[in-house]
């Protein structure tokens, strides 16, 4: 693999993704991993990520310089670049001018790492420390007002570094730089794509499971669906899926799982309609964290019951259920396991997680993949677009999109409004441009309106379209006005009791994506 050494910035994952987008397989490792262990992984190249620290501060994370002498091509980015410069004898100091955001960058030599670059580039920077002098043997390739050495290379030793962040989209030529490093500087072939993983996983799952039985909880989301489809491809009817309908799903979603998904895969499915039970437990509750807790606990109990049923039935046939499938993705693995110096860790909120005392062995066929890769595999496995391209949807569902108490009429109303927004966004071809678009019912808020000759006193619906790469940060999507107008007209016409549609124009931070 190409190793991405994580110095504790949220950018490390992005770097790993960009490497894969250049068709080269990558893995993240913490900077605390001993260099011998990194080298024992036989890396084809190494990329050092940015990080929140300053190299000249006591106790700042560093790296055994042996890494620069192993003959493996290394690219340092931001903090990683400064570590490289510092360890090899360059001069690194507090910058005379810190640079944050888009930065005009002058390319002094369009060679090697920057081969083919125009004379000037806009790059995205975030640094208060600068490399003043490159280590001996290095050529300086670029500079900015605040960074005398903004890019450098020593092709003979295959060492490269940039002060800016090529992995973010705000650096327009960033992907080119990563690709140049991998293919030209390091000489790697572009031969990896996510579907390469299907055959490997099928073989691995068969070998692991043997003739035993496997259970999988489906949430209706992309990850569990793709994980289930992959396991089903490997072991067919040895897999049983359980789907709990908590009554907080969007319009048509239960149907999609129970019919479209089953039709596409032929998977054995036990569907439990537990909506009465969930709504009963949620009566009178409007505090978001209590909602989450109730939904999470109920979910576990319901899932356990279905699970017992599967185990009993298998038992009658003389078989044993030994494995549980989970749709864990690479970012979950990195965030919960790693965390070495990470300044920014997303809190995990699945549907309360699964029971702690499970006696199953886990099968997690998507553990090395990012979301877009999981989608590619889902399509390859023949899953319908409605499932593969489903927006991320919170485990507690519409329950946390009704601000106030959750009641059946409110759920029905929100389901309609949400369906209209989704329909219009799809019709406008915007599905894949936005990350997700929560539709929120402010059930306890009332405002005056007029419809026909009548004064109304109804509730507003909020549209919250956002663009994001990973839900950790997000920006509000600039949707075309005519699409917004159509959504607004249809919702106020077709959803009795809603007399106002408003648009949320806040980024995350300071807001979160969901309203609760
Ligand atoms: P926030 O609102 O924290 O959301 O910006 C970030 C992402 O997480 C989803 N989300 C949840 N997912 N259970 C989940 O499984 C939850 O309780 C939950 N709350 C938020 C949200 O839809 C967004 O994609």
Q: Does 462 sit behind a cis peptide bond, omega within 30 degrees of 0 on the bond before it?
A: no
* CATH code at position 340: 3.40.50.620
Structure-token pair, residue 363: 């099968």
pLDDT computed for residue 340 by the predictor:
39
Active site (catalytic) residues: 78, 165, 167
Of 134, 158, 185, the residue at which a domain comes to its end is: 185
Q: Which two tokens stand for residue 496?
A: 């009795």
The two tokens of residue 301 are: 């109990």
Range of the domain at 455: 401-503
Say yes or no: CB of residue 512 within 6 Å of ligand 1: yes
Q: Do 41 and 98 share a domain, yes or no?
A: yes
Q: Are residues 129 and 260 in the same domain?
A: no
Domain shared by 343 and 220, yes or no: yes
Cα–Cα distance measured from residue 511 to residue 506, given in angstroms and rounded to the nearest whole number: 6
Ligand 1 lined by 296 (C-beta under 6 Å): no
**Is residue 411 domain-shared with residue 292, that is, in the same domain?**
no
CATH number of residue 481's parent domain = 3.30.300.10
Cβ–ligand 1 distance for 102 under 6 Å, the answer: no
What is the model's pLDDT at position 7? 92
Q: Is residue 161 part of a domain?
A: yes
Residue 191 covered by a domain? no
For the residues of 46-79, what is the DSSP string, one character each? EEE---SS-TTSTT-----GGGGGSS--EEEETH
117 and 222 in a single domain? The answer is no
- Asked which of 161, 185, 209 is the last residue of a domain, the reply is 185
Q: What is the pLDDT of residue 358?
A: 60
The reply to whether ligand 1 has any atom less than 6 angstroms from the CB of 395 is yes
- Domain match, 259 and 132 both: no
At 355, phi and psi to the nearest 5? -50, 140
Number of structural domains (the chain) is 3
165 and 269 part of one domain = no
Gap between the Cα atoms of 233 and 243, Å rounded: 19
Q: How far apart are the C-alpha atoms of 492 and 307, rounded to whole Å?
A: 43
Structure tokens at 304: 């356990």
- In angstroms, how far apart are the furthest CA atoms of the chain? 81
* Parallel/antiparallel/unpaired status of strands 45-48 and 2-6: parallel
Contact 281, 339 (CB under 8 A): no
186: CA distance to ligand 1 center in Å? Answer: 39
From its phi and psi, is residue 148 left (phi > 0), alpha (psi between -120 and 50) or beta?
Answer: alpha
Q: Is 396 left (phi over 0), alpha (psi -120 to 50) or beta?
A: alpha
Instruction: Give burial (CB, 10 Å; 0-12/13-18/19+) of 238.
Output: buried
Burial bucket for residue 198 (CB in 10 Å: 0-12, 13-18, 19+): middle
214 and 325 Cβ atoms separated by less than 8 Å: yes
Nearest-atom number in ligand 1 for the CA of 395 is 15
Q: Which of 394, 395, 477 to mutate to test the pocket of ligand 1 (most atoms within 8 A of CB)?
A: 394
The atom of ligand 1 lying closest to the CA of 474 is 5
H helices of 52-155, where?
A: 79-87
**Rounded to whole angstroms, how far apart are CA atoms 365 and 362?**
9
Residue at 514 is within a domain: no
Asked, for residue 512, whether it belongs to a domain, the answer is no
Which is it for the CA torsion 104, 105, 110, 114, positive or negative?
negative
466 lines ligand 1 (CB under 6 A): no
The answer as to whether 144 is a domain residue is yes
Residue 291 lies in a domain: yes
DSSP 8: S
Q: How far is the CA of 434 from the centre of ligand 1 (A)?
A: 15
Ligand 1 center to residue 346 CA distance, Å? 10
pLDDT score of 266: 96
Residues 6+ apart with CB under 8 A from 40: none
> 426 and 280, same structural domain?
no
b/e code 400-423 from CB counts within 10 Å (16+ = b): bbbbeebeeebbebbbbbbbbbbe
Of all residues in the chain, what percent are helix, strand and coil, respectively (each to 5)? 35, 25, 40
Same domain, 384 and 424: no
Is 222 annotated in a binding site? The answer is yes
Does 230 lie in the same domain as 133?
no
Compute, in angstroms, the gap from residue 514 CA to the centroid of ligand 1: 6
Helix axes 222-235, 196-209, angle to 10 degrees: 60
Which of the listed residues 388, 412, 436 is the one where a domain comes to its end?
388
Hey, which of 513, 515, 516 would you mutate to test ligand 1's pocket, going by the most ligand atoms within 8 Å of its Cβ?
513
What integer pLDDT is reported at residue 355 of this predicted model? 53
Q: CATH no. for residue 112?
A: 3.40.50.880
- Evaluate whether residue 482 is within a structural domain: yes
Quick check: is 355 in a domain?
A: yes
426: its two tokens: 């799809």
* Ligand 1 atom 10: residue of nearest CA: 394
Task: Name every residue whose Cβ is closer than 8 Å to that of residue 119 and which is 6 or more positions away in sequence.
Answer: 106, 107, 110
CA distance 240 to 218: 10
141 with 112, same domain: the answer is yes
- In tens digits, the chain (516 residues) has pLDDT values of 999 999 987 789 899 999 999 999 999 999 999 999 999 999 999 999 998 877 777 788 999 999 999 999 999 999 999 999 999 999 999 999 999 999 999 999 999 999 999 999 999 999 999 999 999 999 999 999 999 999 999 999 999 999 999 999 889 999 999 999 999 999 999 999 888 889 999 999 999 999 999 999 998 899 999 999 999 999 999 999 999 999 999 999 999 999 999 999 999 999 999 999 999 999 999 999 999 999 999 998 999 999 999 999 999 999 999 999 999 888 877 765 543 333 333 333 344 445 555 678 999 999 989 888 999 999 999 999 989 999 999 999 999 999 999 999 999 999 999 999 999 999 999 988 999 999 999 999 999 999 888 999 999 999 999 998 878 889 999 999 999 999 999 999 999 999 999 999 999 989 999 999
507 is in an annotated binding site: no
Co-location of 263 and 170 in the same domain: no
Ligand-binding annotation for 220, yes or no, is yes
Q: Are 278 and 247 in contact (CB under 8 A)?
A: yes
Report the C-alpha gap between 501 and 338 in whole angstroms. Answer: 42
Q: Report the residue among 220, 300, 328, 349 best suited for mutation to probe ligand 1: largest number of ligand atoms under 8 A from its CB.
A: 349
Whether cis (ω within 30° of 0) applies to the bond prior to 509 is: yes
CB 334 within 8 A of CB 13: yes
Residue 334: per-residue pLDDT: 73
């Amino acid at each position: 693999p190409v190793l991405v050494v994580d110095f504790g910035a949220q950018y490390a994952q992005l770097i790993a993704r960009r490497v894969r987008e250049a068709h080269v397989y990558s893995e993240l490792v913490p900077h605390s991993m001993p260099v011998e262990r990194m080298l024992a992984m036989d890396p084809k190249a190494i990329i050092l990520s940015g990080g929140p620290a300053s190299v000249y501060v006591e106790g700042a994370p560093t790296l055994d310089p042996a890494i620069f002498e192993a003959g493996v091509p290394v690219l340092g980015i931001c903090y990683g670049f400064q570590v490289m410069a510092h360890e090899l004898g360059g001069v690194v100091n507090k910058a005379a001018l810190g640079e944050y955001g888009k930065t005009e960058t002058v390319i002094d030599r369009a060679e090697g790492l920057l081969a083919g670059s125009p004379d000037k580039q806009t790059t995205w920077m975030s640094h208060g420390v600068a490399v003043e002098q490159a280590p001996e043997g290095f050529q300086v390739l670029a500079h900015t007002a605040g960074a005398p050495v903004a890019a450098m290379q020593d092709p003979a030793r295959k060492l490269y570094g940039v002060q800016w962040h090529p992995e973010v989209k705000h650096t327009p030529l960033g992907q080119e730089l990563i690709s140049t490093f991998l293919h030209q500087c390091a000489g790697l072939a572009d031969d990896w794509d996510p579907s390469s993983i299907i055959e490997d996983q099928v073989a691995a799952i068969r070998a692991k499971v043997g003739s035993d039985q496997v259970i999988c909880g489906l949430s209706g989301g992309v990850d569990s669906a793709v994980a289930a489809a992959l396991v089903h491809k490997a072991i067919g009817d040895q897999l049983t899926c359980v789907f709990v309908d908590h009554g907080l799903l969007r319009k048509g979603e239960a149907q999609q799982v129970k019919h479209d998904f089953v039709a596409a895969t032929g998977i054995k499915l036990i569907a439990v309609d537990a909506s009465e039970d969930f709504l009963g437990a949620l009566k009178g509750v409007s505090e978001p964290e209590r909602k989450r807790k109730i939904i999470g606990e109920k979910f576990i109990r319901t899932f356990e019951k279905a699970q017992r049923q599967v185990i009993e039935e298998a038992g009658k046939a003389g078989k044993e259920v030994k494995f549980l499938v989970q749709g864990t993705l690479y970012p979950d693995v990195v965030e919960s396991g790693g965390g070495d110096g990470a300044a920014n860790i997303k809190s995990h909120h699945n549907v309360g997680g699964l029971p702690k005392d499970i006696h199953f062995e886990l099968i997690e066929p998507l553990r090395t993949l990012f979301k877009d890769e999981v989608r590619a595999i889902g399509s390859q496995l023949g899953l319908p677009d409605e499932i593969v391209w489903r927006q991320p949807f919170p485990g507690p569902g519409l329950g946390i999109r009704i601000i106030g108490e959750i009641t059946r009429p409110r759920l029905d109303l929100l389901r309609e409004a949400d369906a209209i927004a989704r329909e219009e966004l799809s019709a406008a071809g915007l599905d894949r441009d936005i990350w997700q678009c929560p539709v929120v019912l402010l059930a306890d808020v009332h405002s005056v309106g007029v419809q026909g000759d009548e004064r109304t006193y109804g509730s507003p619906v909020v549209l919250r379209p956002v663009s994001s790469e990973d839900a950790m940060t997000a920006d509000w999507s600039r949707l075309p006005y005519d699409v917004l107008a159509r959504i607004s007209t249809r919702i106020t016409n077709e959803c009795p009791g809603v007399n106002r549609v408003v648009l949320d124009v806040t980024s995350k931070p300071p807001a979160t994506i969901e309203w609760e």
